[in-house]
Amino acid sequence: MKIRSVQNTRKITKAMEMVAASKMRKARSACATRAYGEKIRNVAAHISHANPEYRHPFSLDRDSVKRVGIIVITTDKGLCGALNTNLLRLVQAQYKEWQAQGEEIEVCAIGNRASASCSGSARSSARTSCSSATARRWTS
């Protein structure tokens, strides 16, 4: 009886070690991702301040807008359901707002979830675009 309980305790301890090791790998990965994000922000800030007198036409404020373009990029796989859902909810709300203002809207959807969302009944004129097989493009 005592040998069996020791073996069971050993199995439980081994499982706990494996879980702890997995959590450590995730934590290390998160730290590496955070450093990457900070570096990207630094590069973008440096580029934006490099030549302050140059203004790209897309970044200028305009009195009247003729057309609006939205590029939606979602994930193809993984455990990112909340990310995709929140992103598509935000895009659909903005789309409806601009549509109510009478704007001409063009959307380029990249990713499985975005492609599925853009091929809904309200956007029946979806056509394949871009170089990706999972990209779709539609106009209002």
How would you classify the pairing of strands 67-73 and 104-110?
parallel
Confidence of residue 12 (pLDDT cuts 50, 70, 90): very high
Q: What is the pLDDT of residues 45-74, one digit of tens each?
A: 887 777 777 777 877 888 887 888 888 888
Exposure of 37 in the CB half-sphere (CA atoms within 13 A): 6
Residue 80 annotated among the catalytic residues of the structure: yes
Q: Which of 31, 80, 118, 130 is catalytic?
A: 80
User: Mean per-residue pLDDT for 18-34?
Assistant: 82
Rounded to whole angstroms, the Cα distance separating 14 from 112 reads 39
Q: Is the dihedral of CA 88, 89, 92, 98 positive or negative?
A: negative
What's the pTM value of the predicted model, to 2 decimals? Answer: 0.49
